[in-house]
Structure formats: structure tokens, C-alpha cells
Structure 1
Amino acid sequence: VAVMAAPVESSGWFPALAIAVSLLKCLFINAYHSTDFEVHRNWLAITHSLPISRWYYENTSEWTLDYPPLFAWFEYGLSQAAVHFDRVMLVVENLNYASPATILFQRLSVVFADLVFIYAVKECCTTVREEKAAKDLLRHPCFVLAVLLLWNFGLFIVDHIHFQYNGFLFGFLLLSVARHLQARHLEGALWFSIVLNLKHINLYVAPAYGIYLLRCFCFTQDNTDGSLRWRSFSPVRLLSLGAVVLSVTAASFGPFVAMGQLPQVLSRLFPFKRGLCHAYWAPNFWALYNVLDKALSMLGVRLGLLDVAGLPKASMTGGLVQEFQHAVLPSVSPPTALLCTLLAMLPALWCVWRRPCGGRGFLWHVHEKAVLLAVLPLSILAVESRRDAGIFLMLATTGHYSLFPLLFTPAVERVPCFILWKPSTFWAWSPWRSSARSSFLCHRGSRPCPSSHCW
């Protein structure tokens, strides 16, 4: 069967999809927004009104700056445009300020920042091939991928209702993935270094990235049986990777290192006193751990084995961001959570090393929105095989369902049904349900990947 690349660049459907979803986002400018709206307004004010030496010390608001410096510079850039909408929003002391002009600017800033995400989706689509030409556009894998990413339900409600900049951040991550699929590994490392310095939640993706690049980029050849040829290791490639990563990190953290503020910055980036779980529990292992502890404590009281007066308050279910102690099970410390995370990663890292072509579950203080870090990249694999499509369908359904509590006002509680309908409909029409498998585009001259499951 002749292999034909999906006609992404020769068609107008991609701009139409991007424009349509952007217009839909604009309809929610006046929708409910969470406290994250005030968080980012405060960061705009901090980066605009204060010298850089005070950015990570300012604490007028409880919503202190706790993202890496590169994101702080992004906020600074936004503040240069915000001054033309409403100068008052850039006053640090104006807590909970939300004028109509402020709301308009911040909502539009998310929409325009999503241009990075749109470009990244387009690049991911160009890496998809199909084994036979599909007469119906709706059966093109690249079209389905574009719908799954651009119309992602979780990303929509988290960014354009709840209010965050996840699309902007995921844009750099997907662009990095696209560059690796195109065998442009140094550029892929550059984009990943940028997103890592924009939001440090990507730290737990870094080990897999490092193993993949070491195996596929630093080792240039395999033996005929597919095993690694150790003598093919290229120190020059390793140094070039290190130079890319260090240059981005130096540009981000360098000014704060020069001012002797690195410990202060790190204390903001890793605020362990916020507790094991976020106020709204993310669906990871520690949520089950908390439930088991609560059940055991209740059972212990009923059986007379525990004294109610001696039990800690139910702070873990109080909806507050704080430290708490477990009643029956051992309380979990940050080092314990880190160790569990690393142990959970080891099988996946070993698979990446053997077949370089799969931690969140034990992380400390995971936000519920972190599930998108698994759902969005898995969309790319979902158009490759039915098996991955089934995994994606299960993960996307459960992951997006876990985000529903973010929508609790009458004005937006009906939104999920409408937005979920769109990708679900295209899912039913998707090519992996009825046609041959598709494969990813490999750069001519690059080493073939030992496995189809590269990511």
C-alpha cells in the first residue's frame, strides 16, 4: 500500500479548527474564574511594579510567585501590554482586583498565548502518516489528532474557565515531542528545557527525556541484533545536549544566582509545607492512602481501639492547603514521596532505555490538573494504534471526569456535555476504529526506533 502523508499544509481545515476553538474560548471571557485569576494578576503586578530582586520575596498577597523565573519573565512581558488596559491591576496592593478591563486582558492573554499550542499541534500533525489515503477528511489521523488536542476538554476548562496558562506551556512540550519525532533532537531538547524552566511540574518527565536522548541521540548505532553498541557513544553529542540545557537554565536562573537568591527561589518553587495533597485531591496514590487512613481511623474508633480525642483533625479533607498528619498510617514526608516517585519511574525508564521510542502517581502535592500532562501527549499515540487509542479513551474519560469539580457554578456546569461531545463524536469516526494502523514519520537517515511506542 502506498504511503501518503496527510495533507496538512495543503488544506484549510487546520486554520478553521484553530479559529473556531479560539472564538469559542472568547465566549467564556465573562465566565466564572478561580483564585488562579488573582494569582496571575498578582504576578503581573509583582513583575511590573517591583525590581527583579524583590520578585521572590514579595508576600503582600498569599499568592506569592512560585513558578520558575522564565515564567516570571513571561508575566513581565504580559504586564507591558496590561498597562494599556488597566494600570490599576498592576498595583501590588490591589488584592482581588478584577475590573472588566482586567478580566478582558487576562482572558485574552490566555487565548493569544495558546498560539504556541496551536503551532505545536500543527507540527505534531505533520509527523503523522497514514498507510492509505482516506477519502473522508474525518478519517485522516492528523485531522483526528488536531481535534483531540485543539478541542481538549480538560485544557479548555482549566485554562479558559478556571484560568491558567497550561495551553501555552503544553505548546512547548508538544513542540519538543514533534522535534524528536522529526529527529531534530537538539531542538527538541531546547524546547523541553524551556518548558521545564517555565513550569517545574515537568521535572518528573525529565528522567524519561534524559534516558531517551542518551539512548537515541548520544549512542549513534545499534548492533545488528538491535542491542546497543556501546562504542558508538558520542561525547560531542552529550556535550551539545548539556550546553543546550545549561544555557536555558542559566538564562532563567542566572540573575537570581548572581544576586545570591537561589535558595529563596527554590524555597518558593518547592513549598513542602503546603502538604502531601492539594486542597482538591489529585487522583494519585496518596488520595487512596488518605482514604485508607480515614477508613482505618473510623474503624478503630468503632472497635474501641482508638480514642477520638487523640486523633488529628480531619484537615486533609478540609479543603485547605496545609500540612496534616495521618491518624493510623505513617505520615508521608517529602523525601518518602520522592523515593516512591523514583521507584515508580524505574520500570518505565528501563523500558525507555531498552526501547527508546512510560511517576505522577506518588508525587508530593500534585494538582488535579496534572492529569493533562499524561492525556495530551497520549493523544499522539492514540492515532497510531487501536491499543493506544483504548488506553487514551480510558485515561481521557477518567482524567477529564476528575476535573468536573472545577466547574461548580450554574453558568458553566452544563459546559462539559457540549465540549466533550465534540472529540467523542470524532472518536467514533476515527480511522483506528476501522482502518489500518498509521505510523510516525521518521527522518530520512535517522536510526529506526526499536519500538513503535516511542512516547
Structure 2
Amino acid sequence: MRVLTTLWTYKPHLLRTGLRIVQVHARRQWSSIAPKAEETRTEPIFTQDYVQINNAMHYKDSWTNVTPSILARTTRKLHLHPAHPLSIIRQEIENHFGTFTPLNNFHPVVNTKQNFDDLGFPKGHVARSTSDNYYLNENIMLRAHTSAHQLQGLRSGSSKFLISGDVYRRDEIDASHYPVFHQMEGFQYFDMHPTVTEQQVMADIKSQQALSASSIDLADSTLINADNPLQARHPEACVQPVIAHLKHSLNALIRRLFRHEPNLKVRWIDAYFPFTSPSWEMEIFYQGEWLEICGCGIVKQEIMDQGGQPDKIAWAFGFGLERLAMVLFSIPDIRLFWSQDERFLSQFVSNQIVKFQPFSKYPPCIKDISFWLPSEQWSENDFCEVVREKAGDIVEDVKMSQWLFAAIALLFAALVRWMVALGPYSGARTPPMYGDYEAQRHWMELTLHVPIKEWYTHDLSWWGLDYPPLTAYVSWICGVVGQVIMPKWFALYDSRGYEDAESKFFMRSTVMACEMIFYIPALVYYFKRIVKGYSLKQQDYMLMIALLQPALIIVDHGHFQYNAVMLGLSLCAFNCLATHRFITAAVFFSLSLMFKQMALYFAMPIFAFLLSQCFRQQNGFLLFVKLGIAVVATFGVCLYPWVLPVSDLLQVAHRVFPIARGLYEDKVANVWCALSVILKLKSLLSVERCIQISLAMTFVGLLPSCIDLFRKPTHQKLIYALANCSLAFFLFSFQVHEKTILLPALPILLLLPIEGDAVILFQNWAMFSMFPLLSREKLQLQYFSLFVLWNWLQQQTRPSESGSSVTRMLHAASFTIMAIWHVLQVTTPPPPRFPDLYTVTNCILSCAVFCLFYLYLHHRQFTLADIGVNLTDPVFRGVYRGKTLHA
């Protein structure tokens, strides 16, 4: 049976309702789970007041959330059934580590000290949450990992042991998750002496060499660094042999387990675990993606102290037996391991790995059920527990989706954009040259009527085309549609300055359409698919905040531009990098560069990330060649009409990079404009010298972030590096405009899950920095409306607990400074000697804030080891609007 729940959750003070409607789609799927046989074992006693299990009585309290069906699993011990797939995997691992002591009978009921305190989890840590664990009461629980018995193993007297057992975590309902699963971990310690493991290491190396004929492709490019450090109490000469011993042991185990898997790819990557350092994960390439199968590392010395072995050094690893068995036995559904159907159990024989054969001939039957849930206090796992308790394992799938909230957010975001579009725009009714609106309209006129070879040379005195070819192609498509509707809108020469209501509606519609095609889907994909580990409600709130980012709305739909196309293509590239689709990412980013040259702000971190992947992967050179071909081909297709003669290509480059315009344009909140108050470089130095200085400063500004990203190319560091490098370009590069603050605003917006308060603060200052430009275009009403609306909405969607006192102080100080500036700007005219006083003050204040953000985000990127999270990790947690969520 398949259960799909559609959950519509409302914020009571936003939509005034306290109920949720849940729609359930049920499918009977006989190929997966057969009806349960009668249980013959004595089950734990579950009453209204207490739970009795393992001859101990535990009284319930407010923490109790364990259910009878979960308690019933504690007696099954699937990992000890000789012919069960989980037991076969356990035996394989035990046979490989033949000299290790197996410890397989620890009872799953433990106290919170064993499960958390002994392993260094602080009080209040999110991993202790009742939404993720099963509690009998506040102090007693079902173990969440076999590491709860590490100290018992240490005190057993054995220097090397294996622990296996069933573990319990509240989880969603689908084919790959189950609230009860099985772990197996290994532990070995040595004397803390540099030469103690040399012989064992050499033996493992010889063992691995003996298996070198295996078709397994095993890659290890991990390094010890500040993000994955050695422990202070471990001399490098002592710990390096232990690391080598761990890796050789696990490499040999993987070769043994997957000896019959053709052309299997395995890789080591750096990781973070609270009780090991340094830490790593092993991944296999399975069904088109990398699948984590093992976590391991050097055990924290504090654990060794508690175990009475302060002078020893140890490694530990952990496997999920279900994940290994699903791959090796080709078992498609994790719940099949609990089946007592002979058609399943009879397929397996002890000490043999065979492929599972589906045994049902019945087709699925889909049914829909709808019902109401009171209040919004339940978590998704609470609902899954009710479904699991009532329907058991015949429920195949439960998915929560708040599509109504997301749809409302999208419609509301579109409404806000249209309301902004009703106002003025750049150059409205200001002949002779008008403004950006006329430029965009003219390019549609130009591409419709002028031969393509002349697009970059035709009548440059009237808004000559100065963006890359993809902008021209999009203008041509819009022009074709507009000409069909009303040819006079784009009549050659005669349409210059055309501004009737119908043409303005069409032009505004093209901006909306481009954003809906390029930017909105990429943003939705990022917050709904790339950012994981949050509830659907949290994802929707973050998406709504991102959709209503005021700076982009007022520039594209107020001022009038198509920045969302460039940003959307760049965001598509970021999403592809996060999902390891590197060639596709290269194509998307090349298209972004071909739409607007300002996408170069993101070029260096993307180059560093991809180059690092080429060095780290087994077929890195082939990847490098493919990336080069993808980039050259994309550029070639876009630039094809101007490739020959070379003078045409040079004219395109000359128009796209107008170095003659000067160091910066108007009053912009970057370093050069702020310095001009005391040092006017534009007057003191030639344009060439200014270019050289700005290039040098930009390169210096982005180099540290790129080097760090190259050394450790994680997806989270990529987002930070994109923010840092685009800020470096904005602050130090040549020919910067106020609107280019939109480029660093994008990756900083993507940090919303982990830098919530900082993201809000930056976006507010980005908006404030553009006020002089917006006020010249009479967009003050739109500016203040968006500013107030966005800050009010993000305040409504933040958790009940507010941010730290520091963040509250920073927000209060920022609002105070902005308010004072705005009041003075309206009420007190500037002195005649300094007519640009308020504009320059705005630039200096904004520049100072952006410089502080530049330093802060670098600090965050370089100290990510302290955060220990990853945007694509299924258990990723962060800091969302002041609330600590990282695990």
C-alpha cells in the first residue's frame, strides 16, 4: 500500500486557521510486503502508566513517545537470524575482522547518558529531540546508534571489537527509511606509539595488493587539514599509522563485500562526526548517484579517557546493515527485511549473497483518502507514527507536501511584482535618451530589423547593444512576440521612446515571463530539493522569503531590467554543482555569462570547484576535457555569427567590456567610490592604471576564498565562496554599478538556512545602497513598501525564539541608521557646497557594511569545520533565522 499525504499547514496569525487538511493516496502494492504472520514471542508490556521491557518497569512522562509496534521490534533481532540478509552481511564483516570480539546482544534500551552524554552531545542538542528519537521517559530511550555501547566495549577488556544491533530513530515512511534499522561498528585501539602498527599496516597493504585485480575503482584524495583536523593530544607520528590502518582495513572489507559487483566506484570523502576527528565517509556510486555506506574516524580522546584507556589511540567505523544489504542483495524496499513471508525468506542461504527476486504478480491499486488534522503542533514524524501504528508495514510511502502554501507564496510573489511594475521605470517620460526601459525595448527593435552581423555596430549613439549575445537572442524572441501583437511597438527608428500603456504592459510581461522561466524554478528547486533536513513548513517559509527578496524585484520590475535571467542561469549551475552534474553546470554557467558579463563575479569559485573535482576524481582528466568541450561549444554556438572575421568578435568584446567608462558608474557603494571622498583616483591616475589597480585588488580579494574552496570543494563552501568572490568583485573591480549588488545578494540569499539573520541584514543594506538610484526614478513608494513588507514577513515566519542579543542589536542599529538617513534626506537639504552629501554618505555606510560582510563570510567559510554541516546532507541542519538547528 502506498500512502501519499498532502499537508497544508498555515501560520495561524497569517491565515487565521488552526486546522490542516491531509489528503492520502493509498496504493496496495503486494510485490513488497506480505500480510504479517502471528507473533509468538512475548511482547513488552505497554500500559497507560508504564512500559515494561527486559524485566524492567519504566514509568511514562511527558517525554514518552514510543509506541507498542516499535517496542514489538525489540525482540526480533534480525541481525542474528542465520539465513537473514542482515545476518549474512554481519557474518561477512565478522569473518573479515576475524580476530575482533563480536558483541551482538546488547539490549536496545539505554539511558540518555549512554546515548548522548558519554559521546559528547551537549544538553539541548537537536539530536536529543523527541521528534527524532524514541523515549520511554526523560532518562530512558531506545538507542539511536550502536555507539551507545562503545564504553561497554572498551571496558570489556578487548582491544578490538565489533558491535551490532538494532537501532531506533523516528523517520519518514518510504522505501529507504524505517524507524528500526541495524548498525554494525568496529573499534580498535593501539598504544600511542609511532611504530606500534607498522607491521599491521604493511600486512593490510599486502592484502589489498593481493586484491588489486578487482574491478572496483577506489579513490581516496582526502587530506588532513584545518577543516578535518588531528586532535591536539595526538602526535602526528602516532596517528598517521592508525589512519593508514583504518583505511586499509576498510578498503579490504569493501573489496571483499563487493567482489562480485562489476566496475563499482568507491571514494573516500571528508566528513564530520561529533565523536571522531579526523572523520571520513566511504561512498559508492549506485544507481547514478553517490551513496554513503560507512562513516569512520579517529575516536575522540575524551571517550578513551572515559573508557579507562587514556594512553591508547583508537579508530572506529560504522555501517548500516540495511544499506549494504539493499545494494548487495538488490532488495528494493527496506521493509522487506521485516517480512515473514516464506517467498522472501526462502531466497537466502547463510554465507551466500544472492539477488532478490520479486514474487508478486498483482498490479497496484491506488485509492485516495482525505481527512483533517487538528492544530499544527505535530511534526511530520508524529504523523508517520500514527500511520505506522495503525497500518503497519503495508504502508509503502508517506510524503508530506504543502503545495497549497507554496502555490499561495508563488501567486503572492507574482502579485507583488505586478504591483511594483505599476510604478515608474528607468527613463520614464524623460527624453531625449530615456533610460534602461528604452534600451531594452530598442534591442528588441534592433534584433528584429537589423542583420545579425550588425547588432553590435548599428547606430551606437542610440542605446547600442552592450550585453553578450544571449541577451540579444532573448530580446529577439520578445520582439517577435511583440511584433505579432502590435508592430508599431518595434518599428525601426519610428518606435524610439514609445511608451503607451499597452507596450509598457507587454514589456513588463516579458520581464515576468523571463523570471518565471529562468529564476523562479531554480529558486524553488534549491529550497525544496537541495536544502534538506528541514520540515516542509520551514522550506516553504524560506522559499517565500527568497521569492520576495526586495532588491531583485525593484530592479527588474521597477527600474526595468532582466537580471533574473542571468541569476536564474547561474542558480541552475549552482544546483547542478550541488548534485554533481558538472557538465550541465558548465553549460548553464556559460549561458549565464553569455547573457550578462557580470556573471564573471561567480566565475573564479566555480572554476576552483570544478578544477578541484578534476584533480580529485579517478577520471579527472577526462572530466577536464568534457568541461572544456562544454564551455567552448556553448560559447561557440552563442558567438557563431561573429566568429569571422575576427574584427567582428573584437567589436563584441569591446561593446561588452566598456573600459573607457571609468572606475565606477555614478555613486556606488564600493571601495573606490568610498575612497573618492579623500582620494580621487579617477582624477589622479589614467584609466589604464585604474584598471590595473582594480584587477590586482580584485584578484587579491577573491584568492583566499578560492584557494580554500579548491582544497575542500564541499557544496557549502561553494556557496560561501560565491558570496565572498562576488563581494570582492563588487568592492574592488572596475566599472561597477549600483545594481550589481544583486550578484553577491544571490549566493548570500542561498545561505538563508544557516545564516538567517545575516542574510536578512545584508539584503536590507543591499536595498538601502540602491536608494539614490531608485529615488531618481521616483520609486520611493515601491522601495519603502517592499522594505517593510519583506521585513514584516520574515519576522512572522521566524521561530518563536528570537535571535541572539548580538543579532538583535545589529538589526536595531541598522534600522536606526537607515531611518535617520532617510529622515534627514527628506527634511534637511544638503549644503550647497556638498550637493551629493546624502548620496555619498549612503555609499560610505553601505560600503562599510559590505566590507564587514566580506570579512564575516570569509571567517565563516574558513571555520566550517566548527559547523559540520552540508547543504546536500540528508541530516543537514543550520541556523534558520537565529535558531540553532545543526546536528
Partner of 2:446: 46
| Mean CA deviation greater in 434-443 or 61-70 | 434-443
- Equivalences for 1:315-330 in 2 at 5 Å? 325-326=682-683
Q: 1:128 aligns with which of 504, 525, 531?
A: 531
2:566 and 2:599 in contact (8 A); partners too? no
Deviation at 1:427, TM superposition (A): 3.0
Structure 1: which 5+ residue stretches go unaligned? 222-231, 295-323, 445-455
- Equivalences for 1:115-264 in 2 at 5 Å? 115=516, 116-125=518-527, 126-130=529-533, 133=535, 137=537, 140=538, 142-215=539-612, 217-220=613-616, 232=618, 234-260=620-646, 261-264=648-651
| Mean CA deviation greater in 87-96 or 372-381 | 87-96
1:285 and 1:362 in contact (8 A); partners too? yes
Secondary structure (helix, strand or coil) at the match of 1:33 reads: coil
Closer, same or farther: CA 44–330 of 1 in aligned 2, 3 Å = closer
Partner of 2:424: 32
- Equivalences for 1:338-353 in 2 at 5 Å? 338-353=695-710
Secondary structure (helix, strand or coil) at the match of 1:407 reads: helix
Secondary structure (helix, strand or coil) at the match of 1:174 reads: helix
In the alignment of these two chains, the number of paired residues is: 394
What letter is aligned with 2:424? Y
Partner of 1:288: 674
Partner of 1:404: 771
RMSD: 2.9
Is residue 109 of structure 1 aligned with residue 513 of structure 2?
no
Partner of 1:77: 477
Closer, same or farther: CA 191–102 of 1 in aligned 2, 3 Å = same
Secondary structure (helix, strand or coil) at the match of 2:463 reads: coil
Partner of 2:654: 267
Query: For residues 400 and 452 of structure 2, what CA distance do their matches in structure 1 show?
Result: 43
Closer, same or farther: CA 411–210 of 1 in aligned 2, 3 Å = closer
Query: For residues 659 and 672 of structure 2, what CA distance do their matches in structure 1 show?
Result: 15
Partner of 2:458: 58
With the length of structure 1 as denominator, give the TM-score of the two structures. 0.79
1:86 and 1:101 in contact (8 A); partners too? no
Deviation at 1:340, TM superposition (A): 1.8
Give the structure, 1 or 2, with the largest relative contact order (CA under 8 Å, sep 6 or more). 1
Query: For residues 400 and 458 of structure 2, what CA distance do their matches in structure 1 show?
Result: 47
- Equivalences for 1:343-382 in 2 at 5 Å? 343-357=700-714, 358=721, 359-360=728-729, 361-382=731-752
Is residue 14 of structure 1 aligned with residue 406 of structure 2?
yes
Deviations 1:202-223 (A, max 9, x none): 11311110001111x31345xx
Deviations 1:346-375 (A, max 9, x none): 111111112222221111111111111111
Query: For residues 69 and 28 of structure 1, what CA distance do their matches in structure 2 show?
Result: 29
2:545 and 2:790 in contact (8 A); partners too? yes
Query: For residues 662 and 777 of structure 2, what CA distance do their matches in structure 1 show?
Result: 31
Secondary structure (helix, strand or coil) at the match of 1:414 reads: helix
Q: 2:871 aligns with which of 440, 443, 453?
A: 440
Structure 2: which 5+ residue stretches go unaligned? 1-131, 133-169, 174-379, 381-398, 427-434, 715-720, 722-727, 804-866, 876-887
2:566 and 2:593 in contact (8 A); partners too? no
Q: 1:87 aligns with which of 470, 487, 491?
A: 487
2:559 and 2:777 in contact (8 A); partners too? no
Larger Rg: 2
2:614 and 2:623 in contact (8 A); partners too? yes
Query: For residues 452 and 530 of structure 2, what CA distance do their matches in structure 1 show?
Result: 41
1:129 and 1:439 in contact (8 A); partners too? no
Deviation at 1:93, TM superposition (A): 1.8
Closer, same or farther: CA 156–438 of 1 in aligned 2, 3 Å = farther
Query: For residues 330 and 38 of structure 1, what CA distance do their matches in structure 2 show?
Result: 29
Structure (1 or 2) with the greater helix fraction: 1
Closer, same or farther: CA 3–162 of 1 in aligned 2, 3 Å = farther
Query: For residues 212 and 331 of structure 1, what CA distance do their matches in structure 2 show?
Result: 31
1:3 and 1:130 in contact (8 A); partners too? no
| Mean CA deviation greater in 51-60 or 151-160 | 51-60
Deviation at 1:4, TM superposition (A): 6.3
Deviation at 1:286, TM superposition (A): 0.8
Secondary structure (helix, strand or coil) at the match of 2:532 reads: strand
Query: For residues 29 and 427 of structure 1, what CA distance do their matches in structure 2 show?
Result: 23
